[in-house]
Structure 1
Amino acid sequence: MTKKHFCLKLIPARPTFAQDMTEAEREIMQKHVVYWKELMDQGLVIVFGPVSDPAGTYGLGIVEVENEELLKSMTENDPASSINHYEIYPMRAITPQK
């Protein structure tokens, strides 16, 4: 089965989120990093991390999944989805041969 690629943009609750997180928000974001690292270790995530946009930092991830149901599960189960939200875009990714 051909895998599908998606670009995920994690939009924070406010433009200053990265600079002024509360302790509770920081704890959630630490769990978020652990969660996505585990998905990366499973081969589902190609790259993820914060983007230092002058208009406001946001998260970016590129994923490779077999179906959109898995993608939905991945974003819904992300601890950060309780305080932020995702924009999801399909990609025609060109990746190295495995």
Structure 2
Amino acid sequence: MASYLFRLLPPRQDFGHGALTAAEAAAMREHVAYWSTLLAEGKVVAFGPVADPRGAYGIGVVTLEDGVDPQALAERDPVMQAGIGFSVEILPMPRLVARG
């Protein structure tokens, strides 16, 4: 198994602190549903927003079978497919220590 930290970077610094456009709100609903499905499938250990005072972002901790490309999960994420300015950083975690 291989583990990764996904860091979802929003399209603007104040994202999540104010009103979202209709397209952003729809993409975020689909994004949460997508990651919830990955969680139920056992691919995601945890995910959620981070209230960083320098600017909010989202994280996900993912475990995948060896050889599975984590970039494919990001490419299927509705916020990435919506083309509304999100980007993602995917960082390998050489050793994941988790409860349970």
Report the equivalent of 1:76: 75
Aligned pair 1:11/2:14, yes or no? no
Q: Secondary structure at the match of 1:88?
A: strand
Divergent runs of 4+, >3 A: 67-70
CA displacement 1:47-87 (0-9 Å, x = unmatched): 00000000111000000001454412111000111331101
- Which range is displaced more, 25-34 or 86-95? 86-95
- In structure 2, how many angstroms separate the alpha carbons of the residues matched to 1:89 and 1:75? 12
In structure 1, stretches of 5+ residues that fail to align are none
Aligned length: 95
Corresponding residue number in structure 2 for 1:42 = 41
The normalised TM-score by structure 2 is: 0.87
SS of the aligned residue for 1:17 comes to coil
- Correspondence for 1:90: 92
In structure 2, what is the Cα distance between the partners aligned to 1:86 and 1:68?
20
Partner secondary structure for residue 16 of structure 1: coil
1:53 aligns with 2:57: no
Tell me the distance in 2 between the aligned counterparts of 1:9 and 1:96.
21
Change (3 A) 1:67 1:85: farther
* RMSD (CA atoms): 1.4
Q: Give aligned-pair identity as a percent.
A: 38
